[in-house]
Amino acid sequence: MLNDPLDKLATLNRPGASLEDKPRLDIGSDVEIAGRVGEDLERAFNNIVHAEGAFWRYEKTLWRPIPDHELRLAVHGYDGAYFKSPGDKTSCVKLSKSRIDSILYEMTALLAAPAFFAEAPVGINCASGFIRFAADGVPSLEPHHGDHRCRHTLAGRWRPGSNEALPARSLLSRLLSGVFAGDADAEDKIQLLAEVAGSAALGYATKLRQPRALILKGETAENGKSQILDLIRGMLPGSAIASVTAGRMGDERHIIGLVGKLLNASDELSSSSAIASDTFKAIVTGEPVQGRDVYKSRIEFRPQAQHLFATNTLPVFQGGMDRGVQRRLLVISFNRVIPAEERIEAIGQRIGLEEPDLLLGWAIDGATRLLRQKQFTTPSSSKSAMNDWLFGADPVLAWLSERVRSRQIVDQRPRIATRHAYERFREWALAEGFSDRTLPSINAFVQRITANAIGIEYRRFRDGRFFVGMSVSRADAFNSDACDADAPHE
């Protein structure tokens, strides 16, 4: 048996090859040939597995999918293989496209390891080895090995104890300090971005206590968000990166592009309906989803990518943003227009090419912090941006925040009729500039209050429907326990 399947095929298929040169089979079935091809590949590459729709082999530092043409050539070696048919006659295998497809299909069952990559240890595969992280986030370096089950190798190098402060004149330091200069929470934003880079490098996004898709929001041009997007992309090899918008995640032909990816980065956020979809939520949290390439079988897999989107404006949610969406999004605001004299052309891409070791070390710092915290650092401006988005998208939540307080319930009081609460809500919403067309009906209003107002209960009495524990005011702030005199409270 030759060491390379392609060398073997060249011998088996050479012109004039004799019967003795051909493989000998027992019964010549597709299942038997599938088993033999699998054995050939394992002898050549030590270990072969089938996971997430592909056959994989380990090469030097990472697992790579075996190209389709190599798989088919490996099967070609059994064209003309002979076996004894009933009656002790010699018969030969005659391969066709359908038989080759059948043999490869049976190989998927024989070599199946569906959880192979899902059970990989927590770490970053880089040029200098595998960086394993302990439970407390402390990193250590190990030689590359197939047991690490990595599908990508980062270009940067790292050695234990090499983590240092970013050099002030480095491109990485200049980009990070420049885009957030003047922001009160600039340091928190930089830490958050390092954690995002660490999450992507680790393939850890869906393992967090609260998985999040990050949105880089900047309404002005030249604010640096595109450079940050390029920076995170530049840390990873192209094989680890996808660019699937939220709007395309509902299409199984696009969702398949997330298989095995560490980062999904897009310059487009898509519509609110796409972000609110069950598919988007499932992908962000790493729940099983299905997709398929054209002309191939559908496969089920668990996404692991960190999602990163850039946008100038946040989409409007008609009817409000549900809590499932709120839990899965985190906004980073880019407020500064970078002065012309500070701009460095393609700085995000240049950092990945010119400072890969520095970029990797920065991401390792972020990964260490992320593993210790189990969640992302949340800058104060990110909380404000989410609240502004949330209240702008949902007038009911905005009204609750500005006009309503919950009070202790004693003997079923205080209470306010739902129709009166709805009237006060509509008055406020129209005065705030919300379109009448976008305001919910009274039933939808009651549902939104019930789902979001803590300490306020919806109850039915003989004389009607009421919110119990609700206090409504016309004032911008509650300076006393007095309720709105025009709103009937009981």
For position 342, which CATH number holds?
A: 3.40.50
Q: Are 17 and 77 found together in one domain?
A: yes
Provide the percentage of residues in the chain whose pLDDT is more than 70.
91
- pLDDT single digits (tens) 356-405: 999 999 999 999 999 999 999 999 999 999 888 888 778 898 899 889 99
Q: Are 69 and 184 found together in one domain?
A: no
For residues 420 and 483, is the Cβ–Cβ distance under 8 A?
A: no
What's the number of domains the chain is made of?
3
Query: Nearest to residue 231, comparing CAs of 302, 171, 159?
Result: 171
Instruction: Give the pLDDT of residue 387.
Output: 85
Which band of pLDDT confidence, cut at 50, 70 and 90, is reported for residue 485?
very low
Q: Are 276 and 417 found together in one domain?
A: no
Q: Are 317 and 176 found together in one domain?
A: yes
- pLDDT single digits (tens) 437-481: 888 899 999 998 998 889 999 999 999 999 999 999 875 444 434
Q: Are 338 and 247 found together in one domain?
A: yes
- pLDDT single digits (tens) 266-304: 998 878 888 988 999 999 999 999 988 866 778 889 999
- pLDDT single digits (tens) 339-361: 999 999 999 999 999 999 999 99
pTM: predicted TM-score of the whole model, two decimal places: 0.83
140 lies in some domain:
no
Q: Are 343 and 412 found together in one domain?
A: no
CATH number (domain holding residue 430): 1.10.10.10
Q: Are 243 and 364 found together in one domain?
A: yes
Which band of pLDDT confidence, cut at 50, 70 and 90, is reported for residue 17?
low
490 lies in some domain:
no
Q: Are 244 and 335 found together in one domain?
A: yes
Mean pLDDT of 118-122: 93
Mean pLDDT of 243-248: 92
152 lies in some domain:
no
Instruction: Give the pLDDT of residue 390.
Output: 81
- pLDDT single digits (tens) 70-115: 999 999 999 999 888 877 788 999 999 999 999 999 999 999 999 9
Residue 70 burial (CB < 10 Å; 0-12/13-18/19+)?
A: middle
291 lies in some domain:
yes
Instruction: Give the pLDDT of residue 483.
Output: 44
Instruction: Give the pLDDT of residue 235.
Output: 97
Q: Are 359 and 444 found together in one domain?
A: no
Which domain range does residue 208 map to?
A: 171-388
Question: Is the backbone peptide bond immediately before 414 cis, with ω within 30 degrees of 0?
Answer: yes
Instruction: Give the pLDDT of residue 79.
Output: 93
- pLDDT single digits (tens) 18-71: 556 678 899 999 999 999 999 999 999 989 999 999 999 999 999 999 999 999
